[in-house]
Structure 1
Amino acid sequence: MVQLVAFFRRVFLVFSLLVSSVVCAQSLVVVDERSLQPLEGVLLFHTGTGTVVYTDARGRGALSPFLSLDSIQISQLGYHTSRHSVRQLVEFTAQVALVPKAFTLGEFVVSVHRWEQEGDRLAEHITVIRRRDIAHLNPGTSADILEQSGEVFVQRSQLGGGSPMLRGFAANRVLIVVDGVRMNNAIYRSGNLQNVISLDPEAVERAEVLHGPGGMTYGSDAIGGVMDFHLLRPRFASDTTLLLHGGATARFASAADALTGHLHLGLGSKKLAFIGSVSLYRFGDLRTGSHGPKDYLRPWYVGNVYGRDSVLVNNDQRLQRDSGYDARMAFAKLAYRPSLHVELGINAYQSGTSDIPRYDRLIEVRPNGQPRSAVWYYGPQVWRMVSAYVRHEAVSGAWSKAHLSIAHQDYSESRVDRSYRSSSERDQRDRVTGIWGNLDLEKDLSGRTQLQYGAEYITNLVRSIGTNRDLNTGLEGNFNSRYPDGSTWNTRSIYAGTLHDITERLTLSVGIRGSSTALSCSFDTTLFSYPATAANLRNNALTGNLGLAYRPDSTWKISLDMSTGFRAPNVDDIGKVFDSEPGAVIVPNPGLVPEYAYSGEIGIGKVFGDRARLRGVAFMVLLDQAMVRRPFTLNGQDSILYGGESSRVDAIVNAAQATVHGVNVTADVLLTEDLRLDVHYNWQRGVEQDDLTTVNVPLRHAPPPFGRAGITWERKAWRISTSFRFSDGFTYEELPPTEQGKPALYARDPQGRPHAPAWYTIDTMATYRITASIQVNAGLENIADHRYRPYSSGISAPGRNVMVALRATF
């Protein structure tokens, strides 16, 4: 009996192995040759019969439809197409590695028309940032992701910050989009913004930067460009088995003793898929470099000694005390496919920070040499969003693809400050809630023509309060709120555009968008006697674009793009009361009208076989009726008493014009099979007309020339890169007038005037793939330990910074 059982056990084992081998042979796994990561969406096809199969999230594609055929082709954009014998795949091969193309002029992008389009058909300049590169460069925030591209300049007022500058514009003149929903709201300000750090860098699957106005597709605010972030998405299984996938990261960076922990898990069937992600961040006080201007050191800080504000000596002047903060970010996505052509989903996001010290305010001093502030910090910055969407694909009817999304966002922030040796502490708290709705449709009119059209609706409600607390008595009193409490802002728009291949080599893109915005607010006159008690604005705008992309052959692309953008006044523009700088206060101006941007750019790209790719873009932007800060009067007075200090009255007004022109040049060269060189250079000059002197002055958000040059060696499990990041500087005369009045931010020239010195750093990053699922990332930033501060920033950059991360995926 025992022998019989053993016999059947052996028979069952052999049968199981045979079945397992047959099952494995009926499917194929496609991976990237370099990273060994599975490739999703790879096309398996047979040209004769038209048989088509796509790989799933595990890179797995079914071979059963091809068993009666002789061969199949395997293809994906950005990779070399390969042909394989079906018999050999079934009998001998369980995995196929696709070889990435060294260079290409086009890949699928989403940011231009909200739908995937081949990049070589588009006229716009787009920077694509991939997840593999993000992991290699080891960013601490999403602002770092943009900065490391070498094509986006990032300003920081504090460690918990990062304000991207695109083509001379920033803050509420650039648009942040996450998973197709715009983040910009009614209180996005014209100064520097740190909202991009609300996005988890460990969860970014892909990011695209659209340089230049995106008004036709995105409406208001997209003047300088659009930053389009795509977070990890649910993945469906291709068969009846469950697809389990996930990843984890542990990261350390020495300059701020920064710690990161990240985990994401996903589970998918053929009809239902889920993914959840959570990340925790801790940043200590940032240490700057050893070699550089002494003006960037931190020789003192304010502490409390026996209940009294006192100036204390900082024993480690490179340590920028009172700069650290914590952050936590999470999201969950659930998607359902009732049929092959319909997908429904719901997403929930939450991001929050601890208090974030406003470092640039903590280093300011009064004319008598005493600190200006004892306390200045942003309260927790919390962003929540819940969105639901429906996607549909149709073979006939009014659309080929449709996407409807409705999102509710809830954003809150606060500011707490107290002057040195004052017992009065001010607290301003703001909250914006609203609905964002988008309907985007695409219709394939023919193989050469696609029509895109849709509509958008946004409504925002702003709640704002201000209190003043006496620390000695504990009594609280009213203080002016930053914004008129109960203000509303909404916009409605419709758009239509087309992408048409005039010939096989020439593609035309054209579109138009009509927008209507409305704003309503009432001013509280109990603290300030405003000349107006309410403001109600209604504005209409018509924007559009016209682009041509010409491909003389597969190695050339020449593009011309003309586009317009606009920005309607929001609640921050029209109703804010805030001390924007020492001795100056911004007051409401209900007379604002929209500003309009007119942009033109020409681009050229050339691929030299498998050896090099060169691309260049020249652009010019004219901003008319530009909303900028200018001296103003309140009830006939050019200064008022604010926070116990006589302050000049400023307001946001429509100045005459601003212009920006510049160039972007990139070069990629394959030096050897394993060694690659890449160079990114950006030059721009922006000026605006001063309506007091009628002369042109530098534009605040046009940075000095900057860029990056790097060399990367990659072989088997190793990837090592060394990069040279650089920025030119500004003399005192080249600084915008508003920056000349901020001496605490800048180094001093021989005449004692503020200026922004040029700087450079050398960084080395390494990635070692222990297995296909586990990799180690290590790096050394700022090897020379330079002490520098990027233009307009209020905090010095990290000194020598050792970074180590362990990443695992499955």
Structure 2
Amino acid sequence: MYKFSFIVILLLFQLAPAQEVTILDAETKAPVINVAVFNLDKSKTAISDFDGKCDVSFFTPNERIFFAHISYENRRTTKASILRRGGKIYLNLKAEQLDEVVMSISKWEQQRKDVPQKIASINARAIAFTNPQTSADLLQNSGKVFVQKSQLGGGSPMIRGFATNRLLLIVDGVRMNNAIFRGGNIQNIISIDPFSVKNTEIIFGPGSVIYGSDAIGGVMNFYTKKPHFSSNDSLTFSGSSSYRYASANNENTVHLDFNIGKEKWAFFSNITFNDFGDLKMGSYGPDSYLRNNYVSTIDGSDVLLKNGNPRIQVTTGYNQLNLMQKIAFRPSHNWDYSLGLYYSETSDYSRYDRLIRPTGDGLGLRSAEWYYGPQKWFMGNFQISQKGKNKFYDRMKINVAYQNFGESRNDRAFQNPVLFSTKEQVDAISMNLDFENKRMGNLRLYYGGEYVFNKVHSYGGQRNIEANMVMDAASRYPNNALWQTMAGYINGEYKAKPNLTFLSGLRYSHVWIDAIFDKTFYPFPFDNADLSTGALTGSLGLSWFPKEDLQFTWNGSTGFRAPNIDDVGKIFDSEPGSVVVPNPELEPEYVYNTEVGVQKNFNDRLVLKGTSFYTYMVDALVRRDYQFNGESQIEYNGELSNVQAIQNAAKAYVYGFELGLEAFLSDNLSVISNLTITKGIEEEEDGTDSPGRHVAPTFGDFHVVWKNQRLQADIFLNYNGEIANEDLAPSEKSKDYIYALDANGNPYSPSWHTLNFRSQYTISNAFKASFGLENITDQRYRSYSSGIVAPGFNLIMGLGYIF
């Protein structure tokens, strides 16, 4: 009887399912392979498999278990604790293991050490810790990108003296730049939800070989989060939610994402809503930055009111909704299909720098209203990828996307009953075909082609707010204008020696513009713009390790930007008293760039990085005085204005240094610092020169970071240098109302610094809390070229939940 009972018990024990835990990356949720699992005296050990799974049935419920991996921070817990949380445990990457692989240089995974061009990577872990309000803030928080803001709902990155339509935005392999990206400051980057971003890679310098037109100063690649499959055919469900509050603009943000996965199908949904109030500036700084008065319409009449609190920037608040849905299908290990749907919409939001423009006598304000209508962006993106042996490639990607952009501008002068409006929509279709070939020994080839089609819809109107009458007006762009480009490229990576890698590539791009001008409102001296132009760009670079802990890189490259519809066809007021008119006689602008980099690693405890660069531009497209039908002035929106146009009228050169430091003082304490110094000059055709408009001041940061398994804390200093009056671009000097005045009464951009603190505490595997203090000393400052004054003292609190 006892023998029979023992056999039954033994059989039941053998038939009982093993107790498994799944070990996952804390940010990507991907399984972690080869994790060592052991008890205190290492008498019991196990290793996680390809799916991150590990049998822990031989551990007792309350026995202390250790999880160790060469790339991850060690964790310790008990089996009972893990099983209570659904059998999952999350590991955090060590700081020195981050960003080993990059994708932006060739569109395929490459070892970062083999890339000769400077590239910065910001992963989801860093994004979650810095907790940015917008994707513009995400870039600024890196300490390597300068961001200009004309209003709270904005952010225009500047990289190596270039900005706006000379920088390229990419989202999941699709170019976001469209035919009406302008030379003035743009805010399209805020359409990208930081909560949806898995990784951001920033290429410094030309990226035209892979990405074509617009990639002159750099490329900003945003890779959003992907759906996760189940390791078997069972259904898995996971997700996260969070809330954030910021005191400087009374921000309230809520976010939710969730993933449903099976073995072959996976679905990922992402929802974020932001509500921002009027931004409050700091207490200590120039009085000229204060918002002393503002315009309000009372009983149909515009009146100038005194601001009860001049530190409140009335009106700057707005709200925003971001949605993303992804569906992935993996029928086999060789094929992947993915559909991504993205939508972003803002409320109306004021262009703050236009609302503070004074009248000629300085006693009033020029504008009663100046606001952007809702900024809308939709993208549908279908991707197919294949891997496996093939005669011509090892991997292939097909990317087909449709985008629709919507924006509008609305302005009305003080005590003028007429509200002028322009509204634009752009339909954009793109197709990319990319291949990787690794079958040629030490040579890897990347090649492919691209086609992009843009159609611009533009409308103008004017409404008398007193009589409630609506009339047609001139549109900003030629309606139904077309912009197209087709290109092919080849890029090669050759590993000459284990410590020496060469990277080189060529691309030919062709661009067409077809626009017909409506002469109803302006007697244009031309009927249409019909442009057909091509560009050949190339690059050559090397990465050399003379010693294991010392790296030298060199890269030479060319880039170009073809004129778009904004360049050849727009009509708008660029600044008080000036109007820009179309110019169909434009050619592409080209840049020639070289850079040298060095990196030294001292025993994995101290890493020093330095890059110097020089970029020369010819046929630069710049805004200059012009004549329209022989006249240097025309009437625009009821005001006599000087005529200007975009012209190939200048050369330019930009040079600078980018320095970085990472010091790991202990397993818990580290120091990180960045410094960027940039100088640039534009040379006119008549031989005169002037400072470059988008050359940022010297800027940098210094961080002291402490972290353990539960707490990460960062106390840091942000710094911006001064730009004296003689170093301001002419277009900036004309906007003296946004600048402080020096001892001679001339506008200049003062230096500033802020002291800040941020932290994140892991309450449990499910809950994380964040706490931050920005601008602790409550400085009142305005970043270079920005219309809006930066936040004063800012308390930030957030709570996140993972399920």
* Equivalent residue, structure 2, for 1:533: 527
Q: Distance in 1 between matches of 2:115 and 2:55?
A: 34
1:132-175 CA-to-partner distances (Å, cap 9, x unmatched) read: 11111111001010000000000000000000001110100001
- The equivalent position to 2:556 in structure 1, one of 559, 562, 568, is 562
**How much has 1:387 moved relative to structure 2?**
1.1
2:12 is aligned with 1:22: no
What residue identity is the alignment partner of 2:762?
Answer: R
Deviation per CA, 1:277-323: give whole Å up to 9, x if none. Answer: 11000000000000000111100000123321111000100000100
Q: What is the rounded CA distance, in whole Å, between the counterparts of 1:15 and 1:274 in structure 2?
A: 40
The CA distance in 1 between the partners of 2:56 and 2:598, in whole Å, is: 41
Does the 8 Å CA contact 1:697/1:736 hold for their aligned counterparts? yes
Give 3-state SS (helix, strand or coil) of 1:572's partner: helix
- Look up the match of 1:468: 462
Which residue of 2 is the match for residue 382 of structure 1?
376
| Unpaired segments ≥5 residues, structure 1 | 1-6, 47-51, 65-73, 83-93
Given that 2:24 and 2:31 are in contact with CA atoms closer than 8 Å, whether structure 1 keeps it comes out as no
Structure 1 CA distance for aligned equivalents of residues 511 and 418 of structure 2: 39
Contact 2:18-2:55 at 8 Å conserved across structures: no
Partner of 1:364: 357
Fraction of identical pairs, as percent = 40
Aligned partner of 1:40 in structure 2 is 30
**SS of aligned partner of 1:540:** strand
- Structure 1 pair 106–276 and aligned structure 2 pair: CA distance change class (3 A): closer
Deviations 1:373-410 (A, max 9, x none): 00000000000011111100012321111000100000
640, 646, 652: which is aligned to 2:640?
646
Q: Is the CA contact (8 Å cut-off) linking 1:159 and 1:324 kept in structure 2? A: yes
Write the distance in 2 (CA, Å) between the matches of 1:478 and 1:12: 89
Measure, in 2, the Cα distance between the counterparts of 1:116 and 1:683: 30
Q: Does 1:111 align with 2:104?
A: yes
- Partner residue of 2:547? 553
Aligned to 2:629: 635
**Residues 658-697 of structure 1 mapped to structure 2, 5 A cutoff:** 658-692=652-686, 694-697=687-690
- The 1-side partners of 2:68 and 2:398 are apart by 31
Tell me the distance in 2 between the aligned counterparts of 1:77 and 1:483: 57
Structure 2 residue matching 1:361: 3-state secondary structure = helix
* 1:88 equivalent in structure 2: none
Aligned-pair distance for 1:451? 0.6
- The answer for the alignment partner of 2:41 in structure 1 is none
- Please tell me whether the aligned partners of residues 387 and 407 of structure 1 are also in contact (alpha carbons under 8 angstroms): yes
1:757 has 2:747 as partner = no
Q: Distance in 2 between matches of 1:281 and 1:99?
A: 28
Residues 1:706 and 2:693 aligned together: no
Aligned partner (choices 420, 429, 437) of residue 426 of structure 1: 420
- Counterpart contact for 2:34–2:69, Cα < 8 Å: no
Listed as ranges, the matches of 1:60-139 within 5 Å are: 60=53, 100-101=93-94, 103=96, 107-139=100-132
Deviation at 1:528, TM superposition (A): 1.1
RMSD between aligned alpha carbons? 2.5
Q: 2:727 aligns with which of 716, 734, 742?
A: 734
Any idea what the Cα deviations from partners look like across 1:665-686, whole Å, max 9, x if unmatched?
0000112221110110000101
Q: Distance in 2 between matches of 1:573 and 1:38?
A: 41
Match of 1:485 among 479, 483, 507: 479
Letter matched to residue 465 of structure 1 = Y
- Counterpart residue identity of residue 22, structure 1: A
* Structure 1 contact 726–759 (Cα < 8 Å) conserved: yes
Say which SS state the counterpart of residue 120 (structure 2) adopts: strand
Query: 1:444 is matched with which residue?
Result: 438
Shift of residue 712 of structure 1?
Answer: 0.4
Is the 1:296–1:747 Cα contact (8 Å) retained in structure 2?
A: yes
Give the aligned partner of residue 213 of structure 1.
206
Query: In the alignment, which of 247, 257, 280 is matched to residue 264 of structure 1?
Result: 257
The verdict on how the C-alpha distance between 1:75 and 1:516 changes in structure 2, with shifts beyond 3 A counting, is: farther
The alpha-carbon deviation at position 542 of structure 1 amounts to 0.4
The residue that corresponds to 1:70 in the other structure is: none
Aligned residue identity for 2:18: V
Counterpart CA distance in 1 for 2:598 and 2:277 is 45
1:585 to 574, 579, 582: 579
Q: CA 1:420–1:720 in 2, change beyond 3 Å: closer, same or farther?
A: same
User: Contact 1:688–1:696 at 8 Å: present in 2 too?
Assistant: yes
Q: Closer, same or farther in 2 for the Cα pair 1:55/1:185, shift >3 Å?
A: farther
Q: Match of 2:44? A: none
Q: Which residue of 2 aligns with 1:293?
A: 286
Is the counterpart of residue 276 in structure 1 residue 269 in structure 2? yes
CA distance in 2, matches of 1:488, 1:99: 48
CA distance in 2, matches of 1:99, 1:203: 19
Q: Which amino acid aligns with 2:616?
A: L
Secondary structure of 1:552's aligned partner:
strand
1:416-445 Cα offsets, whole Å, 9 max, x none, are 000000011101000000211111110112
Q: CA 1:63 to 1:213, structure 2 compared with 1: closer, same or farther past 3 Å? A: farther
Q: Any idea what the Cα deviations from partners look like across 1:455-486, whole Å, max 9, x if unmatched?
A: 00000000000001111212222211000001
Shift of 1:656: 2.8
1:180 aligns with 2:173: yes
Aligned to 1:278, what secondary structure does the other structure show?
A: strand
Q: What displacement does 1:511 show?
A: 0.6
* Structure 2 SS opposite 1:103: helix
Range that drifts further, 105-114 or 728-737: 105-114
- Counterpart-to-counterpart distance in 2, 1:39 and 1:105: 15
8 Å CA contact 2:348, 2:374 repeated in 1: yes
Q: C-alpha displacement at 1:743, in angstroms? A: 1.1
- Aligned residue for 2:547, secondary structure, equals coil
Counterpart contact for 1:105–1:605, Cα < 8 Å = no
Count how many residue pairs are aligned between Structure 1 and Structure 2: 769
Alpha carbons of 1:81 and 1:762: their partners in 2 closer, same or farther (altered >3 Å)? closer
Aligned-partner Cα distance in 2 for 1:645–1:704? 35
Scaled by the length of structure 2, the TM-score of the pair is 0.92
1:251-299 deviation line (CA, Å, top 9, x unaligned): 0000000010000011111111110111000000000000000111100
- Alignment match, 1:161: 154
Deviation at 1:105, TM superposition (A): 9.4
Q: Distance in 2 between matches of 1:61 and 1:449?
A: 38
Distance 1:463 1:763 in 2: 45
Q: Which runs of 5+ in 2 are unaligned?
A: 37-46, 58-66, 76-86
Give the conservation status (yes or no) of the 8 Å contact 2:28–2:198.
no
CA change 1:55–1:179 in 2 (3 A) is farther
- Say whether the 8 Å CA contact 1:30–1:38 is kept in structure 2: no
Residue aligned with 1:120, SS: helix
> Is residue 367 of structure 2 the alignment partner of residue 373 of structure 1?
yes
Cα drift, residue 40 of structure 1? 2.2
Q: Per the alignment, do residues 641 and 103 of structure 1 end up closer, same or farther by CA in structure 2, a change over 3 Å counting?
A: same
- State the partner residue of 2:63: none
Query: What does the per-residue CA deviation read over 1:572-623, in whole Å, with 9 as the maximum and x for residues that have no partner?
Result: 0000000011101000011110001111001011111131111110001111
Equivalent position of 1:771 in the other structure: 764
Task: Name the SS for the 1:545 alignment partner.
Answer: strand
1:339 aligns with 2:329: no
1:311 equivalenced with 2:301 (yes/no):
no
In 2: Cα distance, 1:187 partner to 1:181 partner: 16
Quickly say closer, same or farther: Cα 1:159–1:194, change in 2 above 3 A. same
Counterparts of 2:393 and 2:602, CA distance in 1: 39
Q: 1:78 to 1:447 in 2, by over 3 A?
A: farther
User: CA–CA distance in 2 between the matches of 1:187 and 1:489?
Assistant: 10
Of residues 588, 611, 627, the one that matches 1:617 is 611
Aligned partners of 1:16 and 1:221: how far apart in 2? 67
SS across alignment from 1:422: coil
Structure 1 residues 12 and 779, CA gap change in structure 2 (3 angstroms): farther
The offset of 1:750, in angstroms, is: 2.1
